[in-house]
Structure 1
Amino acid sequence: MRKLQVQGVHHITLTGADRQSTIDFWEGVLGMPFVFEQPNLDDPEEGHLYFDPGDGRLITVFTHEQRRPVHRRTPTDPGCVHHLAFAVSRATFNQVAERLEERGVGHSGPRDRGFMDSIYFKDPLGLLIELACYKFEPPAGATHAEVLMEAHRLRLAADDDHIGEVHLADAIEALSRRRSPSLSEEREPKNPWHHAR
């Protein structure tokens, strides 16, 4: 038996309402360029709209002109999507609450998740959307997932409840050390100020 090895998210497809409300949310609120559309090839009565979430991958939405937005929360039963999370810069994150409130949209307010900050709100169809901002940048050549895996190991070793900023900082130091060789014979932390006393 062998795995079916995936290499990233190809796209996520959602069932939307009408075409214009879909464009108004995904491009007009979240800023995702509307890159192309075609019929739903399995149901030609529906449109299939494609948006770029910022990384060149795709969020796609099936639309139908007879469907209208339903504002109740989408189901969270087992097997259902709980929420979608999108990355934003710190500058954007700091503006999210104000920009949602300009539209009269309720939100959770900023939430500290230890390794990231998040804010939650519902789209016009009741799907929970998270805008998230990492508290760190990975070292050159590393990914956020690698930093989080290393931080997780450090958190467990310290018997801490969740990943915090100290784990992130130590994880970045450990990954940097492994990835970047040095001419120094030993690379332990130093205090050069004590020589000046």
Structure 2
Amino acid sequence: MSQKIRKLQVQGVHHITLVGADRQTSIDFWEGVLGMPFIFDQPNLDDPSQGHLYFDPGDGRLITIFTSEDRKPDRRRTPTDPGCVHHIAFSISQATFWQVVERLDARGIKHSGPKDRGFMDSIYFSDPLGLTIELASYRFEPPEGCRHADVMIEAHRIRVARGDNHIQREHLADAIELLVERTQQSLSTSRTAADPYRN
């Protein structure tokens, strides 16, 4: 008798662990460049010869780094073979996004410059070990009670229905309007657009 196949439902990213170089390089990059508080420090419980540093990226999740004083930074690009990490993206505000170029330039860190992604702005650069880091800033805030993912799926549906190539601001605005209508009540008999300036 075969058993029913069932999902293992995840509910978010718990943490991401990266293999780092020495301890100080990790602290200087993750806290000293990206501003992530260094919150926890212990040995790697699977290999006590390594350290295990924990950083808070701002949402209460964790970025952890295995460190060893025997490893030195190597700025060559990390592998992008199948199964490897291509890049890690971190969320930043629009206020911070528009300071990134100036602040990376002040450190002499090469970067991509701002990239228009339609629904967000992005900039890319490498950590001291060659891992590509993306700083991403959404161009919208979801309606109360909704998540960014809720807006994205609705914007995607709108984009596909219109035959557009990729999500743009108009798709986002229309998705937000749809979600507000769907999730927030109104006493109006009609929620269609109206013109109060007509003669």
Question: Shorter-chain TM-score: which interval?
Answer: over 0.9
Structure 2 counterpart of 1:73: 77
Q: Quote the residue 1:48 is aligned against.
A: 52
Q: Percent identity?
A: 70
Using the alignment, how far apart are the partners of 1:182 and 1:44 within structure 2?
A: 60
Alignment of 1:122-141 (within 5 A): 122-141=126-145
Shift of 1:55: 0.4
**1:150 and 2:122 correspond:** no
Residue 83 (str. 1) matches residue 84 (str. 2): no
Could you tell me how far apart the structure 1 residues matched to 2:89 and 2:109 are?
17
1:135: how far off?
0.3
1:181 counterpart residue number: 185
Equivalent residue letter for 1:25? F
- Letter matched to residue 86 of structure 1: F
Out of 145, 170, 178, the position equivalent to 1:166 is: 170
Unpaired segments ≥5 residues, structure 1: none
CA distance in 2, matches of 1:124, 1:97: 18
2:105 maps to 101
Q: 4+ residue stretches of structure 1 with deviation over 3 A? A: none
Which position in structure 2 is the counterpart of 1:62?
66
TM-score, length-scaled by structure 2: 0.97
Partner residue in 2 for 1:8: 12
Residue type at the aligned position of 2:128: P
CA RMSD of aligned residues (A): 0.4
**Distance apart, 1:14 and its partner CA:** 0.1
Q: Deviations over 1:58-100 (max 9, x none)?
A: 0000000010000000011110000000000111100101101
Provide Cα deviations, 1:85-122, integer angstroms capped at 9, x if missing partner.
00001111001011011111000000000000000000
Kindly provide the CA deviation profile for residues 33-76 of structure 1, in whole angstroms up to 9, marking residues without a partner as x: 00011000000000000000000110000000010000000011
Task: Confirm whether residue 36 of structure 1 aligns to residue 40 of structure 2.
Answer: yes
The one of 14, 24, 27 aligned to 2:28: 24
Distance 2:174 2:20 in 1: 43
Secondary structure class of the residue paired with 1:61: strand
- TM-score scaled by length of structure 1: 0.98
Q: CA deviation at 1:186?
A: 1.2
Between the aligned partners of 1:183 and 1:66, the Cα distance in structure 2 is 67
Query: What CA distance in whole angstroms lies between the structure 1 residues aligned with 2:12 and 2:69?
Result: 32
Alpha-carbon distance in structure 2 between the residues aligned to 1:71 and 1:156: 40
Structure 2 runs not aligned, ≥5 long: none
